[in-house]
Structure 1
Amino acid sequence: MTITELAESVGRTHSALSQKVAAMRAAGWVRTVPGDDARSKKVTLTDEARAITGRLAAEWRATEAALAEIEAEIPYPLSRVVADVERALERRSFHDRIAEKLTEDPAWD
């Protein structure tokens, strides 16, 4: 897939995916080749990455199962908590919240 296709498939920006791909390339997990036009790059897994995809898929399934188990134990879905936190941070960033609290703390002077 191209970086643009990857970004669209996971709902992230091209810039964000480009940074992730660069990090994965540096780690030896992916390689990039020219795309269909001069502006695009296709991303492919390396043999090292392909060798662990089964383990990664197993870890993902285990993570999803553990989340489902937790959600069965609480009165609201964790996905709702995440969405609520995202909306709160869209209103005001975590950084801004901390910075404000620091200005109110005399020990911060």
Structure 2
Amino acid sequence: MADPRASDPTRQSLWRPLRLLQASIDADIARVYSEKRIKGLKPSYVMELLRLHAHGPMTITELAESVGRTHSALSQKVAAMREAGWVTTVAGDDARSKEVTLTDEARRVIGRLAAEWRATEMAIAEIEAEIPYPLTRVVTDIERALTRKSFYDRITEKLAEDPDWL
């Protein structure tokens, strides 16, 4: 019998290095927060916290639209941010909506979060100046390719050719 590890498709990945790079960058940002004793803050929360600071309380739907996320994804994130003490939620104008507001703790550190955001953007710009093909160009080129044919269509075409999927 053949060793199943020999056919492990996860041994090869074009996607994983990008995910690991993002995780490494997020870990460094989290380290910055930790050094300033900002506890329980994930780098993935900062955009929403800054958006709430700039625009005031918003419903989950409004916040999701403002950051380009689905309502479902943002609802889960808001629950996690609420649990960590960064936001509160109250019933919105109708019974189905929730309004999201920064906590006092979030307001206390918001200036630091804005400073970190600016520093991160400057660091990315610095890296882009050092490499021959900037990340923003890569993203734009990938978005154009996906406009021509969606990622969904690309995956399902490949699956239609794979006997293990059929």
TM-score computed with the length of structure 2 as normaliser = 0.51
From 2, 6, 12, give the equivalent of 2:69.
12
Q: Counterpart of 1:34?
A: 91
Offset of residue 44 of structure 1: 0.1
Q: Counterpart of 1:56?
A: 113
AA of the residue aligned to 1:71: E
The size of the alignment, in residue pairs, is: 95
From 113, 123, 129, give the equivalent of 1:72.
129
Cα separation, 2, equivalents of 1:34 and 1:77: 44
Cα separation, 2, equivalents of 1:40 and 1:82: 34
Offset of residue 68 of structure 1: 0.5
Q: Which runs of 5+ in 1 are unaligned?
A: 97-109
Residues 22-31 or 66-75, more deviating = 66-75
Q: Which runs of 5+ in 2 are unaligned?
A: 1-57, 160-166
Residues 65-74 or 76-85, more deviating = 76-85
Q: Calculate the aligned-residue CA RMSD, in Å.
A: 2.5
TM-score computed with the length of structure 1 as normaliser = 0.75
AA of the residue aligned to 2:99: K
Q: After superposition, what is the alpha-carbon deviation per residue over 1:31-80, rounded to whole angstroms, capped at 9, x for unaligned?
A: 00111111111000000111110111111001000011111122222123
Shift >4 Å, 4+ stretches: none
Secondary structure in 2 aligned to 1:31? strand
Offset of residue 81 of structure 1: 2.8
Cα separation, 2, equivalents of 1:35 and 1:80: 40
